[in-house]
Amino acid sequence: MLNTRTLLPIGLVALALVGCSDDDDNSSNTTLEPTQTERALAVLDSIASGDITDFTAFVSADNYTQHNLGFPDGRATLSEAIDSGALSGTTVENVRVFEDNDIVFLHSIYGGTWNGGVPQVGFDVFRFEEGQVVEHWDNLANVEDDGDDSTQTNGTLTIDTTVDTESSRTLVANTMQALFINGEWSTVTDYFDEENYQQHSVGAGTDFTGISQIAASIPEGSPFYSSMEYLYADHDFVLTMSEGFPDADTGLSDAYYDLFRVADGQIVEHWDIIQSIPDESTWANLTSSPP
């Protein structure tokens, strides 16, 4: 039987009380502390609601490193933007959320007035210490319709808790090393399920055909990524954060966030977000670096 994990909404957690009574009809209530996942969701909800209460409670005031290069380091600038109403009208729809030790990673859609009214799909990654966010990365891309039934966010939503997290982590790490770093493209079927693969990458089709064609078009031994910086796993879902090679014309490279779903020892589903890393002269902070 498929075991799935469901998320208790942050609003319910904040109000949840556990009541205990004894024979003398005395009782005491204990407020449940929100989990890291619920805190991360509350931080995103603050952007949409304009209420900074949870943002200031769950994001460290003294030890917050920001890797979004459009914002200065620290929490003050984003906190002020939320509180001032600069982000008023923004909507945030979380589609998927996962947790790996001190890391929470989320797959969401930003809409409303966000990005000048052009909706974006995003991966947000939060690192926690003692219940507070102390580090944040993200990758964003405009929502696109490439004319097929697959979108940047549809597909499997539930986590299969019967799948071993470490096995998924190892499979995807080996996939990234063999294919995307070493360029061993002739081994693509060792890692991807030809029969059941679902593709959500824009312009790459909906099944194994797209990745098969990509693999066939790249010379053996030619890598696609210059490095994989981070990898996080939660049962059958694995997120990787990588950097590509500089473009021959612009000199700029891309940050690649890839989300994989694993079943029966192979990759069966894939989502991604690709965002160009801007020239360093435009970075709002120099204390952090992509991806």
Partners of residue 27 on adjacent β-strands: 21
For residues 189-215, average pLDDT: 96
Residue ranges of the domains in the chain? 4-142, 159-280
By the 8 A CB rule, do 215 and 249 touch? no
- At residue 288, the pLDDT reads 67
SS3 at position 221: coil
Q: Which among 202, 198, 196, 193 is positioned nearest to 144, based on CA atoms?
A: 202
Q: Is the pLDDT at 23 greater than 70, yes or no?
A: no
For residues 210-232, average pLDDT: 96
Residue with tokens 């304009």: 50
130-168 residue pLDDT tens: 999 999 999 999 999 999 999 999 999 999 999 999 999
What band does 29 get if pLDDT is binned at 50, 70 and 90?
Answer: low
| Interatomic CA distance for residues 125 and 100, integer angstroms | 11
SS3 at position 255: strand
For residues 77-83, average pLDDT: 95
In this structure, the strands spanning 4-5 and 159-160 are antiparallel
- Longest Cα–Cα distance in the chain: 79
Q: Is the pLDDT at 267 greater than 60, yes or no?
A: yes
- At residue 286, the pLDDT reads 76
What band does 118 get if pLDDT is binned at 50, 70 and 90?
Answer: very high
DSSP 45-94: HHHHH---HHHHHHB-SSS-EE--TTS-SSSHHHHHHHHHTTTTTEEEEE
Q: Is the pLDDT at 14 greater than 60, yes or no?
A: no
Question: What's the whole-model pTM score?
Answer: 0.89
So what's the architecture of 4-142 in CATH? Roll (3.10)
Q: Is the pLDDT at 16 greater than 80, yes or no?
A: no
Top-level class of domain 159-280 = alpha beta
For residues 8-29, average pLDDT: 43
Q: Across the chain, what does the average pLDDT equal?
A: 91
| Interatomic CA distance for residues 210 and 245, integer angstroms | 21
